[in-house]
Amino acid sequence: MNEPKIFDIAKIKTPNVQTNNLDGWLRHEIVNHLEGNENIGIELGVAKGVYSKRMIESQKFKRFYGVDVYGDAHDTVEYRNTIKFIGVEEEKYALLRMDFTNALELFPDNYFDFIYVDGYAHTGEEGGKTFIEWYRKLKVGGIMAGDDYHDDWPLVKWAVNDFALQSEETLNITTGEEQSEYCKYPTWFIKKTKHVLGLKTNKELYTLAMQEKERIRQLRAPKPQAPVQNPVPVQQPKAPVKSHFFPKTVIPQGLKIQYEEPVFMDGCFVFCHTKIGAYTYFGDTHIGSLKSIGRFCSIAPGVKIGLGEHTKNYLSTHPLFFKSAGMFNFTGEMDKFKETGVPRTLEIIKEEPIIGNDVWIGANAIIARGVTIGDGAIIGANSLVLQDVPPYAIVGGSPAKIIKYRFEPEIIAKLLELQWWNYSPEIFKNKPVDNIESIINYLETELKNAQPIKYQQWEFLNDNLRKI
């Protein structure tokens, strides 16, 4: 999914285009607009090959190509399985493992009768660059089409509308919905009636698309796995700051820790990028993944946060089978096997946990991946937290259940509104912090005039500490 700001920008920038909606049409039926059965077609972005196979079966083509780089989430195993699915012996089909730009020069201009783009919806097919680059490969009378013409993919809609306007052709949209996860979005297509020169990629759209591409690439990049070979003990930063990374804390090279001054980490293992709020302290904590933790959190010894999940329905649960056994040096046959293993699905990886402000986690608690812990919550010692914890709840047990709340609902509502952790702790000096009603009364007046505090922010990366 795109970032929320992309939806906002696309809403304003997407040009309006009159569409011709084809009621009940399914995406593979657009080839009915092609004459005869001697056509040449290509699909850009093949993945498992469902659409390519349907195109071959439509009997409309004498030759059909697929192009897919099979990088990131789609890998060699998917490439092999796609060839198997379409048929190793299928004479009409060739699956080219490369990116779309590299495939371009394999074909002359005015070569294809049908081009179907189903590549990177979150980049709007590279900000429409793919449509424009491939349009010249399409014969007059041919069909240019693509998937994901839907509000869920705002950059695709923007790029397609832009392309339809530039090509001066009618934009057709299929509205039928198949019961398949691959075909749930409408397909768009235009029929090329003439050559139009000078089609250009929209610069603003392309820039946004490339930013999204990079963001998604980073999201999909394999996360560092524990244990990491030769972990580097972190030395006390040389810079004169009050925050402490004690020598016993281990943060492998390449991981970025952003924190507000001061924080305190003693004897921790951190195996992810993370963000830590001011006055939060950890004792002897193992952090596999943690998107962020707020201010004034107390993390007891032995806590484990966001550890990795293994696969349950593969042949084995061992990381060798999901390409993550970095702790073993394979040789020979084993090495080969490591390459062909299957990556963990996103479902298994789940989101990194998020921990709010003023959270107290008791000794030896385990916080599972995908969990959000609300502001003010308490996690009892030895708990196994598998579900989100509401603000100011006290949970305990394995699996953790709500035992009670720290305060009455109206007090919790006021605290969540006040967000006292956004102000300097100086304002609490000699104030009745031990009486919740009194301190709320005080804060309700005091915070009206107070400015939220800006803590000095630091970034720790590869033994380097810099202000941010």
Q: Report, in Å, the least distance between residue 429 CB and ligand COA.
A: 23
Q: Report, in Å, the least distance between residue 84 CB and ligand COA.
A: 51
Interatomic CA distance for residues 178 and 25, integer angstroms: 10
Q: Which of 220, 7, 34, 45 is nearest to 113 (CA)?
A: 34
Residue list 357-386, contact with ligand COA (CB under 6 A): 362-363, 378, 380-383
397 lines the binding site for ligand COA (CB under 6 A): yes
Interatomic CA distance for residues 84 and 49, integer angstroms: 10
199 has which bridge partners?
A: none
Q: Report, in Å, the least distance between residue 186 CB and ligand COA.
A: 51
Helix (H) / strand (E) containing 164: helix 154-167
Stretch that binds ligand COA, among 171-179, 182-190, 395-403, 429-437 (CB under 6 A): 395-403
Taking a C-beta distance cutoff of 8 angstroms, is the pair 243, 261 a contact?
Answer: yes
Taking a C-beta distance cutoff of 8 angstroms, is the pair 267, 246 a contact?
Answer: yes
Interatomic CA distance for residues 97 and 69, integer angstroms: 5
346 lines the binding site for ligand COA (CB under 6 A): no
Q: Give the 3-state secondary structure of residue 92.
A: coil
Taking a C-beta distance cutoff of 8 angstroms, is the pair 361, 294 a contact?
Answer: no
Considering the complex, state which of residue 255 and residue 361 has its C-beta at the smaller distance from ligand COA: 361
Considering the complex, state which of residue 241 and residue 363 has its C-beta at the smaller distance from ligand COA: 363
Q: Report, in Å, the least distance between residue 382 CB and ligand COA.
A: 6
Catalytic residue selected from 33, 74, 310, 318:
310
Select the residue whose beta carbon is closest to ligand COA and give its number: 380
Considering the complex, state which of residue 343 and residue 380 has its C-beta at the smaller distance from ligand COA: 380
Taking a C-beta distance cutoff of 8 angstroms, is the pair 404, 418 a contact?
Answer: no
Q: Report, in Å, the least distance between residue 366 CB and ligand COA.
A: 12
402 lines the binding site for ligand COA (CB under 6 A): no
Considering the complex, state which of residue 252 and residue 362 has its C-beta at the smaller distance from ligand COA: 362
Q: Which of 159, 131, 202 is nearest to 2 (CA)?
A: 159
User: CA torsion angle for 288, 294, 297, 301 (degrees, to 10)?
Assistant: 10
For 210-302, strand residue ranges (E) read: 244-245, 256-260, 264-266, 269-270, 274-276, 281-283, 286-287, 292-293, 298-299
Answer yes or no: 318 catalytic: no
Residue list 283-322, contact with ligand COA (CB under 6 A): 298, 300
The only residue of 127, 154, 306, 396 in contact with ligand COA, by rule CB under 6 A: 396
Q: Tell me, by CB under 6 A, how many residues bind ligand COA.
A: 13
> Which positions lie near ligand COA, rule CB under 6 A?
298, 300, 362-363, 378, 380-383, 394, 396-397, 403
Residues recognised as catalytic: 310
